[in-house]
């Protein structure tokens, strides 16, 4: 008999077909996020779960006595209650590497958008405000040869550093839990303690995972150390930043601009002050959202799932559970 699995979000047909070769599959096929109550019902008899972002906690595990593996279609796994999963011997997997380049491209896009005010000036043209001789109101900041500070020099951090160093001749500094000597050698990046990085950087990119240690890692104190010309980019997780402190730093001119792919609550509230600020570029959590990368992520997640329910070792078990 094939093991039962539940696919909690729509995936491409060929991915579902691949899983169905090995498993009995049930799928949540609506584009609406599955309600928690439906998810708790759906996991009752399954050995595997394919999901993006739903909380995998004591309550869900209690409802899923046969569960062997939760396969996340994302690299971040802050939705996992790691202790609860460890206690119950449930494997958790994710999809690293295949999205690094797409996410890094988006970070550069946000840096350029903020520095050269691309979305703001797009509106300026479309709203008929373009007059001859008003050059200075259109001025932005250079990205090339500026100093980039990366907080969290992991897989994606390194892909950003590579683009910044070799594409834009930027001076790249970083801070991280551990020193990255190989990246320092290969990419010519320099380690700096957080405080120094915040003071020196023209662009600050936050790229850590969301963990208890990184929650609100950037707040009032950190913004107060940044240059008043600093551009802050967050493509990691919204909860890594004290969003109210960010709003205040932008409103008071303590920093110049921000590029945000992620928010404390998603979707961001329609009345958030961030949406009214022309110097803020906002995106709907699309770091990895290209057709090819999302397909690659779904494929890796499906392979993790199938290996897990077959009792084999999946390639990308999250490090805390391996």
Contact flag: residue 238 with ligand NAP (CB under 6 A): no
Out of 53, 140, 209, 273, point to the residue binding ligand NAP (CB under 6 A).
209
Contact flag: residue 293 with ligand NAP (CB under 6 A): no
Name the segment binding ligand NAP (CB under 6 A); options: 42-50, 79-87, 128-136, 280-288. Answer: 280-288
Contact flag: residue 237 with ligand NAP (CB under 6 A): yes
Dump strand ranges (E) for the chain: 4-7, 24-27, 48-51, 69-72, 91-93, 147-151, 171-175, 190-191, 203-206, 231-234, 257-260, 280-282
- 237 has catalytic annotation: yes
- 320 has catalytic annotation: no
- 266 has catalytic annotation: yes
Contact flag: residue 204 with ligand NAP (CB under 6 A): no
Q: Which long-range contacts (CB under 8 A, 24 or more apart) does 158-165 make?
A: 158/100, 158/183, 158/187, 159/100, 159/101, 159/103, 159/104, 160/104, 160/107, 160/108, 160/205, 160/207, 161/187, 161/189, 162/104, 162/187, 163/104, 163/105, 163/108, 164/108, 165/189
Contact flag: residue 154 with ligand NAP (CB under 6 A): yes
Contact flag: residue 219 with ligand NAP (CB under 6 A): no
Name the segment binding ligand NAP (CB under 6 A); options: 22-30, 49-57, 96-104, 219-227. Answer: 96-104
CB of 4 to ligand NAP, least distance (A): 29
The owner of tokens 């969301």 is 210
Dump strand ranges (E) for 209-315: 231-234, 257-260, 280-282
Contact flag: residue 287 with ligand NAP (CB under 6 A): yes
Of the residues 9, 117, 237, 256, only one is catalytic, namely: 237
Contact flag: residue 297 with ligand NAP (CB under 6 A): no
Edge-to-edge strands, sheet with 4-7: 24-27, 4-7, 48-51, 69-72, 91-93
Summarize as ranges the residues that interact with ligand NAP (CB under 6 A).
Answer: 75-76, 96, 99, 103, 152-157, 176-178, 207-211, 213-214, 235-237, 261-262, 285, 287-288
Catalytic residue set:
237, 266, 285
């Amino acid at each position: 008999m094939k093991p039962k699995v539940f696919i909690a979000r729509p995936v491409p047909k060929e991915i579902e077909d691949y899983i169905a070769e090995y498993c009995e599959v049930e799928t949540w096929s609506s584009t609406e996020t599955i309600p928690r109550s439906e998810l708790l019902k759906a996991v009752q008899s399954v050995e595997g779960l394919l999901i993006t972002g739903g909380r995998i906690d004591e309550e869900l595990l209690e409802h899923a006595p046969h569960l062997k593996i939760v396969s996340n279609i994302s690299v971040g796994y802050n939705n996992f209650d790691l202790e609860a999963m460890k206690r119950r011997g449930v494997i958790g997997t994710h999809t690293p590497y295949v999205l690094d380049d797409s996410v890094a491209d988006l970070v550069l896009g946000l840096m350029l958008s903020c520095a050269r005010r691309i979305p703001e000036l797009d509106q300026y043209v479309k709203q008929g405000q373009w007059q001859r001789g008003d050059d200075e109101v259109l001025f932005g900041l250079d990205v090339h040869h500026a100093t980039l500070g990366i907080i969290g020099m992991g897989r994606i951090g390194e892909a950003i550093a590579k683009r910044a160093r070799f594409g834009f001749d930027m001076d790249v500094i970083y801070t991280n839990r551990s020193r990255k000597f190989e990246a320092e050698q290969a990419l010519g990046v320099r380690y700096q303690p957080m405080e120094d990085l915040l003071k020196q950087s023209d662009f600050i990119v936050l790229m850590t995972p969301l963990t208890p240690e990184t929650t609100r890692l950037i707040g009032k104190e950190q913004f107060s150390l940044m240059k008043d010309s600093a551009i802050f980019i967050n493509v990691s997780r919204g909860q890594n930043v004290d969003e109210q402190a960010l709003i205040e730093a932008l409103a008071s001119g303590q920093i110049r601009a921000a590029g945000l792919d992620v928010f404390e609550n998603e979707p961001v509230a329609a009345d958030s002050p961030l949406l009214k600020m022309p110097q803020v570029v906002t995106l709907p959590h699309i770091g990895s959202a290209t057709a090819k990368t999302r397909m690659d992520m779904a494929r890796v997640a499906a392979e993790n799932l199938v290996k897990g329910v077959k009792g084999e070792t999946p390639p990308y078990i999250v490090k805390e559970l391996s």
